[in-house]
Amino acid sequence: MQSHRLMALVLGINLVLLGIGLAESWWGGGLQGVVNLALVAQGNFAVGVLVRQQFFVNALSRVVMRVPKSWPLRVRWALAKGYHLGGLHVGGAVCGTFWFFGLTVVAVGEVAAGLMMVYVVQAALLMGIVMTSRPKVRARRHDLFERMHRFGGWGLSALFWVGAVLLVDERRGDESLVSELIGTPTVWVLVVITVSSLVPWMLLRRIPVEVVRPSSHVALVRSGSRTPMAGTTRAISRHPLRQWHSFAVIPTPGQDGFRMAVSRAGDWTGEFIDAPPSHVWVRGVATAGMANYGTVFKRVVYVVTGSGIGPVLAHVLAARVPHRLVWVTRDPVKTYGQELVDEILAAQPDTVIWDTDAKGKPDMVKLAYAAYADSEAEAVICVSNKKVTWSVVHGMERLGIPALGPIWDS
C-alpha cells in the first residue's frame, strides 16, 4: 500500500542521513554529537506530528478536492491516495525513536547526570509508545494504547523541552541561555511540534447532543453545534482525559449542526447506546475523511456495510460527485430506522440495499464490480471492516480500477 511505501521512503531518507552522519562524524567530539542527533530525531518527530495535525489534513484534502477532473485518471488516482500520508506519521515516529536511542547511547559520559536521566526516561517512554502502537497490541488493548499515546506523549513533550534547555545550558559558555535557545534549531522544531499538538486541546469544548436509538445496535446523535464540512470525522468523548472515539459527521443540507451514527462495537459504544449522554466533549476541528479524496473522480461507487453508511452518507446528501451507493446491512429499517432509509433513497433512488437478514452475505468483490460496471464509474470507495475493505480495494485495484478505503495505518 502507499502508506507502506511512504514509511519505506522515510526509512530510506533516514538511512541516507545515517550514511552522511557516519561519513562526517556527526556524533564525534563531545556535546556537538548529541546536538546533531537531537536535531535529526526531532525532525522525524515533527514529520510524524504534522501529518496528523487536523488543519494540515484538511488543507491537503481541500487541495486534492480542487484537482480538475480533466486531469489523467492515473494522476487523479495517485492524488486520491493522499490520505495514506499516515505512513509518514508511522515512519517519522519510528525513525525518530531509533535516532533518539542513538542519542541516548552517545550522550553517555558526555552530558551531566541530570540530563542523562532525562534521556533515559524519554527513551523508555518512546519504547512504550512504539510497542503499544503495534497493530496487534492496539487491536487487543486499545485503552492501553490510547492512554500510553496521550499521557506518554504529553510526558515526552515536557521532557523534550527539559532536555533541550539542559543541553543548551551545558554548552552555552558565556552566552545567555535565552539567546542560545533562540539560536538552536532543535528548539524551533520543538516549538512547531508543541504548537501543533496543543491547538486541538485549546479548542476543547463540551457540546449538548440529542440521541435517538432506532435499535439496540445503533444510536443516532444530533448536535446543533457549528456545521462541519461534509465528509469529515470528529472525535468525541464522555470525559476529556479518557477514551476518545472518532465518528463520521453527517451535515443535513439546509440545517445547522450535524449527526453521527454510533454502532455497538465494544464497551464504550455499548455504554453510549445503552446510557446515552446529554453532552459530549469535542476537541479541535472536524477532520477530512478518506472519502473526500474520492471527489477527484467523475463518478464513483460507494460500497459500505452496516454503520459504514455514516462516513459516506454526507457525500450522498451533498451530491458532490455522481455516484451509486451499495449498502449491505442487516434489516436496514429495523436497525437504523425508516427515516434514515427514506432519506438515503430520496437522495439516491438508485441505491442498492442488500438486506443480509433476507439474502445472506454477498460476495462483496463481485457486488462492487457489478455496480462499478453498471454505473460506468471511475472508482470504488469501500467502507467496511478491515477484512472486507481490503478485499474489495485490492480486488478492484488488481483489475486496474481505482479504489479507496480505510487503511488502519496508525
The DSSP code sequence of 80-105 is: GGGGGGHHHHHHHHHHHHHHHHHHHH
Q: Average pLDDT, whole number, for the chain?
A: 88
Count CB neighbours of 211 within 10 A: 17
Please check the confidence at residue 14 and state whether its pLDDT lies above 90.
yes
- Evaluate whether 289 touches 308 at the Cβ level (below 8 Å): no
Q: Report domain extents, the chain.
A: 2-202, 206-288, 290-404
- Evaluate whether 393 touches 405 at the Cβ level (below 8 Å): yes
User: 156 φ, ψ to 5°?
Assistant: -60, -45
- Per-residue pLDDT tens digits for 212-234: 888 888 888 888 777 777 788 88
Bridge partners (DSSP) of residue 355 are 329
The architecture CATH gives domain 206-288: Beta Barrel (2.40)
pLDDT at residue 267, rounded to an integer: 81
pLDDT at residue 26, rounded to an integer: 76
Cell of residue 78, nine digits: 495517485
Closest CA to 86 of 5, 150, 198: 5
Check residue 225 and report its DSSP letter: S
In 159-231, DSSP assigns E strands to: 205-208, 210-215, 218-223
CA pair distance 213, 32, nearest whole angstrom: 61
Cell of residue 101, nine digits: 536511542
Asked if the domains at 206-288 and 290-404 fall in one CATH topology, the answer is no
Bridge partners (DSSP) of residue 234 are 247
Residues 147-165, mean pLDDT to the nearest whole number: 90
Q: Say what the pTM is.
A: 0.87
Cell of residue 231, nine digits: 465528509
Residues 131-137, mean pLDDT to the nearest whole number: 83
Please check the confidence at residue 327 and state whether its pLDDT lies above 90.
yes
Query: Residue 69: pLDDT band by 50, 70, 90 thresholds?
Result: very high
Residues 101-114, mean pLDDT to the nearest whole number: 87
**How distant, in Å, are the alpha carbons of 5, 26, 273, 287 from that of 49?**
18, 25, 33, 15
Count CB neighbours of 36 within 10 A: 20
Query: Residue 73: pLDDT band by 50, 70, 90 thresholds?
Result: very high
Tell how far CA 200 is from the center of its chain: 14
Query: Residue 409: pLDDT band by 50, 70, 90 thresholds?
Result: low
CA pair distance 128, 141, nearest whole angstrom: 13
Coil/strand/helix, residue 51: coil
CA pair distance 61, 123, nearest whole angstrom: 34
Query: Residue 29: pLDDT band by 50, 70, 90 thresholds?
Result: low
CATH code: domain 290-404 is: 3.40.50.80
Query: Residue 314: pLDDT band by 50, 70, 90 thresholds?
Result: confident
- Residue whose grid cell is 454477498: 362
CA pair distance 181, 244, nearest whole angstrom: 36
CA pair distance 176, 114, nearest whole angstrom: 20
Among the listed ranges 216-225, 269-278, 376-385, which one has the minimum average pLDDT value?
A: 216-225
- Per-residue pLDDT tens digits for 34-50: 888 999 999 999 999 99
- Per-residue pLDDT tens digits for 329-362: 988 888 888 888 898 899 889 999 999 988 999 9
pLDDT at residue 125, rounded to an integer: 92
